[in-house]
Amino acid sequence: MVTSAHEGLHRIFQERPEILAPVFGVLGLPFPEKATVDALTPDVTETKPLERRVDTVLRIGPSDGDDFLLAIEAQSGRNADKELSWAYYVAHLQSKYRLPVILLVVCQDRATAKWATGPFDCRARGWTAQTTRPLVIGPDNLPEITDTRTAADNLAMAAFSALAHARSPQIDAILETMGHALQVRDGTGTNYFYEFLEVTLRGTPAGDKWEEILSFVTYFPGRGTVRETAYLEGKAEGEAKGLLYVLDVRGIPVPDSVRERIAQCTDLELLDRWLERSRTVTQAEDLFTEDSAAPEDDPDQG
C-alpha cells in the first residue's frame, strides 16, 4: 500500500493500470485498447556506487503493436538534478530492455509541471547530442472530477485526480464527489480508494477534509441516505445526480419531465424519500406517487 502523496502519484499506475488510457487521453495520445501491463524493477543503478531509481517502470504490451516502457516520476518541485537523471533513466532503460521509452512526470502544482515539460538538452558548442522531452500530467491538463457519475464510472482516475489536485481550491468539492461515488459503488474494491486517499493525503488540509468525510460515512455505515450523500456532495445537485444514477443502474427509463423535477428539487427530506423509492419502483414516475396527493381543504378557509 502507498505511504505518501509522492508514492501514490506513481504507484497507482502499478496498482490500478486502468487509469493509463484516460491519462493518455488527457495528453492527446492513443493508448492501445488491449494491452498487457507489467511492473518492472525501477532500479537503474550501475555496479557502483550511486543508486538511481525510477519511481515506477511499466512494460506495456499492446495487442496490435510493439512493446514499450513507461517510466513514471512523481515530482513535487523543480529540481535541476532531475534534468540529468531523467535523461539517464531513458537512455539506461532503452539500453537495458532494448525498447523505446516514454517518460511521464506527474505534478501537483502548475509551476513544477511547466518546468517539467522541458525540453532538457545535452548540448555543447551549438550541437545537441540528446534531448529529453517528458510527458507531463498535472493541474493544468488533468480534469477536476466533480461529477459523481464520472467518478463512479472510473474510481481509479477519480482518486488519481483528487491526489493530483490536492492543492487546488476545488479540492473539497473533488473529495466530496469522490466520497459520494464510493458510496454509490459500495462493494468490492472500494476500500482501496478510501485508504489510498487517507494515506496519501495525510498531514495536509485535503487530508483533514477526507478524514472528515470518512468519519461521517462510518457514522452511517452503508445507509446511503440522501442526508449522508448530501453531506458528501455538499449540494442538492449532487443528491439529484445520485438518485438518477440509482435509476440508471437499475435500468429504469427516466423521462425528461421526471429528470427535470428531480434536478430542480432542493428539499433534502423529499429527495430522501425519492431515493428510498428509487430502489423498488418499476417506473420513474412512481417516485412521486405518495407526494402528489392534494392536501385536504382547511375547513376554516372560506
Give the pLDDT confidence score for residue 18 in this predicted structure.
86
Q: What are 131-175's pLDDT values in tens digits?
A: 999 999 998 898 899 998 899 888 999 999 999 999 989 999 999
Q: What are 2-61's pLDDT values in tens digits?
A: 557 888 888 888 888 888 888 888 888 888 888 888 888 666 554 444 456 788 899 999
240-to-3, 228, 243, 280 alpha-carbon distances in Å? 35, 13, 5, 17
Of 157, 121, 228, the C-alpha closest to 12 is 157
Give the pLDDT confidence score for residue 47 in this predicted structure.
42
Assess whether 103 and 10 both reside in one domain. yes
> How far is residue 184's CA from residue 245's CA, in Å, rounded to a whole number?
8
- The domain boundary, picked from 86, 111, 137, lies at 137
Q: What are 183-202's pLDDT values in tens digits?
A: 777 665 778 888 888 888 88
Assess whether 17 and 121 both reside in one domain. yes
Mean pLDDT, the chain, integer: 81
Give the pLDDT confidence score for residue 263 in this predicted structure.
85
Q: Which grid coordinates are listed for 222?
A: 452503508
> How far is residue 75's CA from residue 103's CA, in Å, rounded to a whole number?
12
Q: Which grid coordinates are listed for 243?
A: 438518485
The pTM of the full predicted model, rounded to 2 decimals, is 0.62
92-to-52, 82, 295 alpha-carbon distances in Å? 11, 15, 78
Residue 296 falls inside a structural domain: no
Distance of CA 285 to the CA centre of its chain: 34
Q: How many Å from the N-terminal Cα to the C-terminal Cα in the chain?
A: 71
Of 202, 203, 204, 227, the C-alpha closest to 216 is 227
Give the pLDDT confidence score for residue 225 in this predicted structure.
45
Q: Residue 299 pLDDT > 50, yes or no?
A: no
Type of residue found at 107:
C
The mean pLDDT of 103-130, rounded to a whole number, is 90
Q: Residue 86 pLDDT > 90, yes or no?
A: yes
Q: Which residue has the higher pLDDT, 43 or 246?
A: 246
Assess whether 124 and 224 both reside in one domain. no
Residue whose C-alpha cell is 440508471: 248
Residue 264 falls inside a structural domain: yes
The mean pLDDT of 226-231, rounded to a whole number, is 46
Give the pLDDT confidence score for residue 222 in this predicted structure.
46
Assess whether 176 and 98 both reside in one domain. no
Residue 77 falls inside a structural domain: yes
- The domain boundary, picked from 137, 166, 185, lies at 137
Assess whether 16 and 78 both reside in one domain. yes
The mean pLDDT of 103-121, rounded to a whole number, is 92
Give the pLDDT confidence score for residue 35 in this predicted structure.
85
Torsion 11-14-15-19 (CA) sign: positive
Give the pLDDT confidence score for residue 217 in this predicted structure.
55
Residue 142 falls inside a structural domain: no
Q: Are 164 and 139 in contact (CB under 8 A)?
A: yes
Q: Residue 80 pLDDT > 80, yes or no?
A: yes
Q: Which domain holds residue 79?
A: 5-137
Which residues have C-beta within 8 Å of that of residue 265, sequence separation ≥ 6?
Answer: 236, 240, 271, 274
Confidence of residue 226 (pLDDT cuts 50, 70, 90): very low
At residue 228, φ and ψ (nearest 5 deg) are: -70, -50
Number of domains the chain is built from: 2
Torsion 7-8-10-11 (CA) sign: positive
> How far is residue 243's CA from residue 105's CA, in Å, rounded to a whole number?
38
Q: Which residue has the higher pLDDT, 151 or 231?
A: 151
Q: Which residue has the higher pLDDT, 189 or 286?
A: 286
Assess whether 16 and 87 both reside in one domain. yes
Q: Residue 89 pLDDT > 80, yes or no?
A: yes
Q: What ranges make up the beta strands (E) of 115-261?
A: 120-124, 127-132, 135-137
- The domain boundary, picked from 86, 107, 137, lies at 137
Residue 143 falls inside a structural domain: no
Q: Residue 87 pLDDT > 60, yes or no?
A: yes
Q: Which residue has the higher pLDDT, 115 or 274?
A: 115
Assess whether 75 and 121 both reside in one domain. yes
